[in-house]
A and B are shown apart, each in its own frame.
Chain A
Amino acid sequence: MIDPVLASRLQFALTTIVHIIFPVMSMGLAPFLIYFTWKEIRTKQPVYEQLRRFWTRIFAVSFVVGTVTGLVLEFEFGTNFAAFSTTAGELFGGPLALEGMMAFMLEATFLGIFVFGRDRVSDRLYFLSSIAVGLGTWLSAVWILIANSWMQTPRGFEIVVENGQRIVKLTDPLAAYLNPRFPYMFIHMQNAAVESVALFMAGVAAYYVFRHHVWGYPIEHIDVWEKTLKIALVVLLITAPLQVIQGDEYARHVSETQPQKFAAMEAVWETDSYVPEYIVAFPTDVNDLLNPRTKDLFGIGIPGGASWLASGGNPQATIRGLDSFSTKAPPVAIVFWAFRIMVALGFWFILLAVWGAYRWWRGELFEDDLLHKALMASSLLGFLAVEVGWIVTEVGRQPWVIQGVMKTSAGVSPSLTGAEATFTLLGFVTGYILLLGLYTYVIGRIIRAGPPSRDELTQSNAAHVPESEVMSSD
């Protein structure tokens, strides 16, 4: 039997790692769907209806799997982290309840209209439904990130002891809910979602464009894919640089508010100034593989880079080392490597966007087979970047579940037995592998099937649009 604390932590890690894929898909797709719906109604061009219908199917499947996995997360606070829920519930439960009432309700009810109601409701209500769905996905993120950011930079509360239990009492709602971390986290997350979906769209479109233009396959409605590729590239060109610039500010904020996490991100064990930023780094002793220490490192570093990052421009700045904290460090290797993968991916996405833009500007967007291969290979990397980003955030704050207030080990349900926790953990591993396999399979089928053909489209007036006008829209 695995220890209930360890099993609960692994189970929670697994559920969040799997769950995050689906809200990222929904949040990222939402602005695209609103745009497609608007263009479909305004221009009556069939290409937009095809785009809207194709990406709505992917949205709908992602939403269902997201609901199933998200409900599990909400329950797990009670089942596995009852002590945390009792202690922090007064402050932490509110945002979860409001997410349900304010955001999830909006999204789920109007999704019914958005998926099934194109022929049943007016254009105006249909367009409003697309906005309601999009707003719902984004508001969900607001409340969830309010709850999460409070755990990172807790404010606006006091600790009292009731019946022998430490309870967090809310004293200043504005300070608590608009805590310092929230804006950084929200911008970084939302932009990441849109960027990830743009990459995914670009990858899917590149597959068809590549087969048609490079390999010469006849592809039905190739204009849909050409348009998708262009829209995705425009969005990528905006979101990719923004993500890195904002991420840099976020990292500085972390070094100020969670110095232990920052030290783990940089694997700085002893307080030092003029700390280099290691691009890659390996311990010289194999025993330290899971415990990297800078002094033993063999690596390539930018002199003073980490100090510069932490202070916002001063390469001489001092960084507090992990040894100087009273609590045990988080698993440094995981945080260190996850951070590096995220940053490297962030720069790669900028390169991809610029590369694509350059080819487009030269009029060769549909001819560069290497670019298409790179886009196809990168189609899921946005999701990978989100995953490793969350690993930095969540593993990096260990051993704290609420930074400086409550340790994760103290948050686990006291009544939970090792047998129960091990049993459900095994169930989750099996169930989630099946679920991910099923999701990948279904999304793969939807992509291979492509958008509905023009004959299947519901709007009869679509037939009246002259072919030349369709082409010129590209």
Chain B
Amino acid sequence: MTNVGTLATKPLFGLPLAELWFALLFFIFGMFLFLDGFDFGVGVLFATRTDDHEKEQLLAAVGPFWDGNEVWLVVFGGALFAAFPSAYANLFSRYYLLMFAILAALGLRGLAPEMYEEREDDHWKTLWGYAFVIGSTGTPFLLGLFVMNWLVGATGLITPVGVLGGVTVLVLTIVDGAAFLGLKTRGRLRDEMRKYGVRAAVGYLGGAVITLGAIYVTEPGLRSSFRSPLIVALVMLTATLTGIYVVALRRRRYYAAFAATAALVFGLVGLVATLLFPFVDRTAGLTIREAIISTLPLNLMSIMASVLLPIVLVYFVVLYSAFSGPIDMEETYQ
């Protein structure tokens, strides 16, 4: 076939596909961190609730969404595997125990809301309430740890920079969750969530600055990257967005706060991607050009992704508009 012939030798429209897939990969990760991030945040904030009805409302808020949100992680894993298989193999086998810890935490977070509603007694609900909080706290922390290890090219599992990054990501999910609950709840509950959101935002800015400082001090190899204008711009943007978030929450502009969270998440992901570039796996010394698959499958994957991802975004619009607005007081998880 002639068209397969061209597809096999030349990149589609002469595009820099390796760089585009690197960007796409981090876009997918950003979507995951923003969307599932508010689920995690809600799970963490669940720990602050003692009233059963309020707990039910928190679960009802994320009920229809979290399945779809979590699929972005599946797509991230798949896309990394498909586009940079050697990096996928190196990273996942190097941080072996960390990967299974993430899966365990994620599994707990996934099971908990479903199980919580299965029985009415207090003992059962307390148990699965804990599971929900532990899973929702553990997952973003461990993911942050993993991403930091990946970024700096750590060989061990637990590094100081990784722990700082984990805490920062965890706090970011609280920022995210509080803004989301601003949209989904009313009254006293919403007022309290707003307070947590403002505190978390301040904490996030502090955490991000400390983590970046720690990377600068401990990773001499990355120092030169810090002087790139893009990094400086992203850090300034983060500070500005945090300010916008705090002001928006104070003025009860919940959509604005939620949008600011999205920008904050993509700002962080952009920072990590910029610092990592041009490597896709620093420890193994793999650059994106070395790790990318050959032209034919790359072109095919690019065609498929450019058709499918916009369609996927439509699903999310349909889902989120079907469940827009605050949840009914009577509405529970199922």
Contacts and interface: CB of A to CB of B under 8 A. Distances in A.
Contacts of A91: 297
A93 interface: yes
A416 B90 CA distance: 11
A435 B309 CA distance: 33
B99 A438 contact: no
Nearest to A98: B304
Query: In terms of DSSP, what is the predominant structure of the interface of chain B?
Result: helix
B99 to A, nearest CB: 5
A424 B103 CA distance: 12
Nearest to A67: B110
Interface string A47-61: 000000000010011
Nearest 4 pairs between A and B by C-beta?
A89-B85, A78-B92, A97-B78, A93-B81
Q: Tell which of A86, A90, A91, A438 has the most Cβ of chain B within 10 Å.
A: A90
A350 B300 CA distance: 43
Given A85-B81, A85-B85, A93-B88, A415 B94 contact: yes
B104 interface: yes
Contacts, number: 216
Which of under 10, 10 to 19, 20 to 34, or 35 or more describes the interface residues of B?
A: 35 or more
Interface stretch (A104-112, A244-252, A394-402): A104-112
Contacts of B65: 112
A268 interface: no
Contacts of B316: 109
Interface residues of A, number: 68
Interface in B65-112: 65, 67-68, 70-71, 73-75, 77-79, 81-83, 85-86, 88-94, 96-97, 99-100, 103-104, 106-107, 110-111
Contacts of B318: 109, 113, 125
B121 interface: no
A149 B31 CA distance: 32
Nearest to B95: A79
16 contacts: A64-B110, A75-B92, A78-B92, A86-B86, A89-B81, A96-B82, A98-B308, A102-B304, A108-B71, A109-B312, A110-B319, A112-B65, A170-B294, A171-B8, A413-B93, A424-B96
Q: Is the interface of A mostly helix, strand, loop or mixed?
A: helix
A74 B64 contact: no
B19 interface: no
B75 A105 contact: yes
A361 interface: no
Interface in B23-73: 63-65, 67-68, 70-71, 73
Interface stretch (A115-123, A218-226, A301-309, A367-375): A115-123
A286 interface: no
A435 B294 CA distance: 40
A57 to B, nearest CB: 8
Nearest to B70: A67
Contacts of B99: 75, 78-79
A211 interface: no
Given A72-B103, A100-B74, A112 B81 contact: no
Nearest to B113: A64
Contact of B115 (A125, A427, A438): A438
Contacts of A170: 294, 296-297
A173 B322 contact: no
Contacts of B74: 70-71, 74, 100, 104
B217 interface: no
**Most B CB within 10 A of own CB, among A67, A89, A98, A442:** A89
B228 interface: no
B89 A68 contact: no
Nearest to B100: A424
Contacts of B81: 74, 77-78, 85, 89, 92-93, 96-97
Contacts of B319: 109-110, 112-113
B90 A82 contact: yes
A99 interface: yes
Contacts of A116: 63-64, 323, 334
Nearest to B85: A89
A80 interface: yes
Contact of B315 (A89, A92, A106, A173): A106
Contacts of A89: 81-82, 85-86, 88-89, 293
